[in-house]
Structure 1
């Protein structure tokens, strides 16, 4: 009889342990899901920093989520994604890098949207008296003297690529060889001009809005370079509801107002949707 009582106790003890284990595991699983739903990592082109920071603040007001944004050149971010960086959303400063990720199935094609547009400008330090009108064969080399034109990397970074296209279109690129200081991204090129380390720089119009220590000398003709479009997409395999919500928020009137404040234009009539 004692043996049966011991067996009963063992069975009851095992049942209790199973129930307790289930009670412990369930909250842990729920907390893990909640943690994913309460955080978001966005990879965004460096030129978006001021505007995107403002959009994130607006988004977090109505959403219980911690949004982290990593800013760098679109090419740098795309290569990090190719190497497995755990981002949720990617916003590029040109179509080519997004196309590359799309072709490799690194982003969800169905989520991709053309979000913003921008312009290309020539800037100088705020206290500069440089006056130049951008036109074919304009004498930018003489304006530089023995100093350098600040640009983002002209082989990889969108702002640098657009800048090179424009300068080639205007027939002044060849004459600038040896007179260009290339930076890792457009904000680094902007900083060279703002600090007075370069007398002129090629950046986006939104960059000029963001930096009080530069002035716009002139705007490059839209026909001189490919359209500057900022596409956004969710990365393939991302199972985070906040990614869809944030991407949708980027297309609202609220976000559009912030982007416009920082010098961006909407990429199309569908870029701003009501909340």
Structure 2
């Protein structure tokens, strides 16, 4: 009986020390708030540890190519997902899940004129002589790439290019506006909605830039069962309602 009790105690101790399955998701910085909420909801219902890593989509993609132990990649840009595949990373169950929009924002607590980009008034007219426009770096950050396309569409790129405050990701661009370091910034609609420190002045026309799609895929295959289950859950109604609440919409083309 003593031996049996000792064996049971040892087994219980071993089981208590077992770690939960871990799933690492590398995701665009603009997904931070919604994905954190989704992860908290999922973990409350499942015995799993979801570990998010947030960065610009370009940085996250490069980290995966360099060997980062990611299980999923959730990009704010279709091109960086395709770049990842072009580097020899096998993707599984890729889906275009969400869609976003591009917004012009200014620090809150100030009076701002109503402004609709492309409606006659120029962005440069809203900047003082030494003031700059905050954006994600157009050389690699998806939000900056879309911003460049929109400014080119509006005929303002050449004028505004020297006046850009380039940030490493869209949340860093938002922070410049929140701190009042720049009077204007171009970020996603969801970022504008998430911050109490900025006011949205207007949305850029959707036809002024490529569709802002968020593809999701399994990476570093074969995928574990917990990774596959979380990937599937993110496409369901419960997760999509969380993303919708912060301003995302479901992508028109929900599958590849």
* Common fold by TM > 0.5: yes
Change (3 A) 1:166 1:36: farther
Change (3 A) 1:106 1:199: same
**Could you list the per-position Cα deviations for residues 121-144 of structure 1 after superposition, in whole angstroms to 9, with x for gaps in the alignment?**
000011232222211663211211
In the other structure, the counterpart of 1:21 is none
Choose from 169, 173, 190 the match for 2:157.
Answer: 173
In the other structure, the counterpart of 1:226 is 210
In the other structure, the counterpart of 1:125 is 107
**1:88-237 to 2 correspondence within 5 Å?**
88-108=71-91, 110-131=92-113, 132-135=115-118, 138-145=121-128, 146-237=130-221
Change (3 A) 1:151 1:35: farther
Does the CA contact (< 8 Å) of 1:36 and 1:240 recur in 2?
Answer: no
How far 1:237 sits from its partner (Å)?
Answer: 2.2
How far 1:105 sits from its partner (Å)?
Answer: 3.3
Structure 2's unaligned 5+ residue stretches are 1-9
**Could you list the per-position Cα deviations for residues 214-234 of structure 1 after superposition, in whole angstroms to 9, with x for gaps in the alignment?**
111010000000000000001
Q: Looking at secondary structure, tell me which structure has more helix per residue.
A: 1
In the other structure, the counterpart of 1:9 is none
Change (3 A) 1:81 1:127: same
> Structure 1 CA distance, aligned partners of 2:209 and 2:45?
39
> Structure 2 CA distance, aligned partners of 1:269 and 1:101?
20
In the TM superposition, structure 1's runs of 4+ consecutive aligned residues that sit over 3 Å from their partners are 34-37, 268-271
Q: Does 1:86 align with 2:69?
A: yes
Structure 1's unaligned 5+ residue stretches are 1-26
How far 1:35 sits from its partner (Å)?
Answer: 6.3
What TM-score do the two structures reach when normalised by structure 1? Answer: 0.83
3-state secondary structure, aligned to 1:135: coil
3-state secondary structure, aligned to 2:150: helix
In the other structure, the counterpart of 1:260 is 244
How far 1:242 sits from its partner (Å)?
Answer: 1.1
**Could you list the per-position Cα deviations for residues 183-233 of structure 1 after superposition, in whole angstroms to 9, with x for gaps in the alignment?**
000000001111111100000000011101111101000000000000000
Larger-Rg structure: 1
> Structure 2 CA distance, aligned partners of 1:69 and 1:127?
33
> Structure 2 CA distance, aligned partners of 1:215 and 1:59?
32
> Structure 2 CA distance, aligned partners of 1:137 and 1:167?
13
Alignment size in residue pairs: 241
Does the CA contact (< 8 Å) of 1:136 and 1:170 recur in 2?
Answer: no
In the other structure, the counterpart of 2:4 is none
How far 1:36 sits from its partner (Å)?
Answer: 8.0
**Could you list the per-position Cα deviations for residues 64-110 of structure 1 after superposition, in whole angstroms to 9, with x for gaps in the alignment?**
011110000000000011111111100000100001112333132x4
